[in-house]
Amino acid sequence: MANLKDLKTRIDSVKSTRKITKAMQMVAAAKLRRAQETAEAARPYADRMEAVLGNLAKGASSNSAAPMLLTGTGREDVHLLVVATSERGLCGGFNSSIVKLAKAKIAELQGEGKTVKIITVGKKGREQMKREYGDLMIEHVDMSEVKTIGYANAHGIASDLLTRFDAEEFDVCTIFFNTFKNVVEQIPTELQLIPAVFDNADDEGTSTHYEYEPDENSILADLLPRSIATQIFTALLENGASEQGARMSAMDNATRNAGEMIDKLTIQFNRSRQAAITNELIEIISGAEAL
């Protein structure tokens, strides 16, 4: 009977776990819709800003007076990597995929003899990175108290990066995050922030010629810092939607697995109980025959 009691306790424990995972799945599903809408709403603005700045950069990149955020320092010796992950776990491979991409980049840069510095955003990324690259980490951005991601959060990170760039602490800055595609697929993404790289500029053959007042360099000097903050904000929003999607998928799988385990344990419990009853009957019958 002790075996039956252990099985009953385990079945009750798995049922309690299934209730928790089911509740977390429903919470993630509720948060996902809003996070997805916010991330998708931010994409057109970010893409259009990149296109406008890209067109401006075409005429300014060859100019000696172009901002350093566009032209860079002229070196690529020191790389600053911003690894953006979540503050909480139980979201499948969401955090691991970002960290894996960042580690591959670190190995590549170190293989080329470059100096690497790391800033982590989110506790889970810090926990994974510090085991192997703790000596490279120079700062951590704690967002555990942030209920809703806002532009102010991205602006704070961008201000710190710009201050460090002005102090010549690094030459190239890259951010790592997950781009939301759907509930079951999030794409690990590597995006260079400094110096600015524009892929969405209009093709040379189709672009319209504009005359700017003030000149391109002055506009870029004002807009490039905002562009960096916008890119970081977009990355945080994409991460937020990806996190909820990954958690919803992970909790759904966990709920299914718990259900399957309950079915198996229930079958095992019934068989053990039947065997115990059979043994008792055999003992009773044997005792009666002995009399």
Q: Which residues does the annotation mark as catalytic? A: 91
In the chain, DSSP finds a helix count (H) and a strand count (E) of: 6, 5
**Per DSSP, which regions of the chain are E strands?**
78-84, 115-121, 137-141, 172-182, 185-194
Complete DSSP assignment for 109-129: HHHTT-EEEEEEESHHHHHHH
User: What residue type is 73 in one-letter code?
Assistant: T
SS3 state at 63: coil
Complete DSSP assignment for 157-208: HHHHHHHHHHTTS-SEEEEEEEEEEETTEEEEEEEEEETT--S-PPPTTTPP
